[in-house]
Amino acid sequence: MEIDLTTSYVGILSLIVFVLAYAVVMAEEFSHLRKSKPVIISAALIWAIIAYHFAGDKEYGHEIEHALEHNVLEFAELFLFLLVAMTYINALEERKVFDNVRYQLTSRGFSFRQLFIFTGIITFFLSPIADNLTTALVMCSVVMACGKGNSKFISIGCINIVIAANAGGAFSPFGDITTLMVWQAGIVEFFTFFKIFFPSVINYIIPAAVMYFFIPNEKPEVSSEKVIIKRGGKFIIFLGLFTIFSAVNFHNILHLPPMLGMMFGLGLLGLFSFYLKITYNSSEEDEKFDFFKKVSRAEWDTLLFFFGVILSVGGLGFIGYLTLVSEFLYVGLGPTMANAIVGVLSAIVDNIPVMFAVITMRPEMSIDQWLLVTLTTGVGGSLLSIGSAAGVALMGQARGYYTFFGHIKWTPVIFVGYVASIYLHVLMTDLPW
């Protein structure tokens, strides 16, 4: 059932609510109001406006219920995936794994600039395997551990990680939720994604090369005390890698949602935490390992932010705005220009619902054009801190260091990398402009 309420009071009022909510999100740095609160209210109001308009109409009532349940399911899968990733990060942090990495790096005399290069390259090549969000969260912890006392390094280091994670995740079906969506839909084959490897490299290298010269040319403080990983920390690293392996194969072999593999890994961590608890030695350890403490310390503001965004955008999609925008772009401007603009839109709205809208529309495009939109929605999210899951997550994890306005200062440089990656892909595939 096709519904178009874009020009009605329902559409206009819902759009105003969404824009106002996002304006408040962007002002978080100054207002100190957590970003999840306005978008949760936005989601509730948009769907309430829709439901009010169709009150008493059972046929449309069922359509609304079905659409809302679909959006909730999308969020649930993302929520459970992220919850596991965040729990593992908290567990590794408590076991002193990241502090040990910091000690290993700083004790070797690496400067901030060298650390900037290392963390960026590791992020770029790890994100296609572990996904951009998980990788960004892990590397952010390393940057914050290495940069204690130097807010400038942490700020630029986090921006570098977001760009590297999104660029690295763009050329792998498992690197980003958007690439996973395209692969699941059967549009692009698994190995075909690697055709956008070089555009992804260019997208990362250009802004990274510029930011490098703004990193303090000095060395971090070397901890005088050697940091040793706590008991069980190394095994938790193994469990974390096995969890990623499970998520990939649950989807790839069993055709089940990746979050189920992640939850399997969470269960294994819970069992191992029980072992650590019953074998606790008070003379060697300061406190017992508490599994549920690690779960509770997840970045709930970030998780609830995604709830608000997915349901808000889902409501706007139900009203007809996503269809309207997609039709305007692909029919009016042509696929290449449309895909370039879609990438910019993904930085504003979030790349997941934007890609969902494109897949739903299924515009007639070649495989190379589908690769282009995969590239643009992936790396386009780097233009703003709110444009990708990695950026949003790091705003929560590195609160006070990595901010919306801190990121936007580098948007012009990131945009140059964005344009260069599109140009290279068009050049390599002979796509018409």
- Kindly state whether residue 4 falls inside one of the protein's structural domains: no
- Kindly state whether residue 162 falls inside one of the protein's structural domains: yes
This prediction's pTM: 0.79
Residue 356: per-residue pLDDT: 73
Biggest CA pair distance of the chain? 71
- Kindly state whether residue 393 falls inside one of the protein's structural domains: yes
- Kindly state whether residue 2 falls inside one of the protein's structural domains: no
Could you tell me the sign of the dihedral formed by the alpha carbons of 320, 322, 327, 333, in that order?
A: positive
Work out the average pLDDT over 143-170: 91
The fraction of the chain above a pLDDT of 90, given in percent, is: 38
Tens-place pLDDT, residues 386-405: 888 888 889 888 888 898 88
Structure tokens at 83: 């919850």
Residue 129: per-residue pLDDT: 80
Question: Is residue 16's pLDDT more than 70?
Answer: yes
The fraction of the chain above a pLDDT of 70, given in percent, is: 97
Identify whether the C-beta of residue 32 lies closer than 8 Å to the C-beta of residue 400: no
What distance in Å separates the CA atoms of residue 179 and residue 129, rounded to the nearest whole number?
12
Work out the average pLDDT over 72-87: 86
What distance in Å separates the CA atoms of residue 88 and residue 347, rounded to the nearest whole number?
28
Range of the domain at 63: 9-429
Residue 2: per-residue pLDDT: 63
Question: Is residue 187's pLDDT more than 90?
Answer: no
Residue 306: per-residue pLDDT: 82
Residue type, 137: L
Tens-place pLDDT, residues 364-373: 889 999 999 9
Work out the average pLDDT over 253-263: 87
Residue 216: per-residue pLDDT: 87
Considering only CA atoms, which of 96, 195, 223, 207 is closest in space to residue 162?
207
Phi, psi of 431 (to 5 degrees): -75, 145
> Rg of the chain's alpha carbons, rounded to an integer?
22
Structure tokens at 265: 């890994």
Domains identified in the chain, total number: 1
Average pLDDT of the residues of the chain: 87
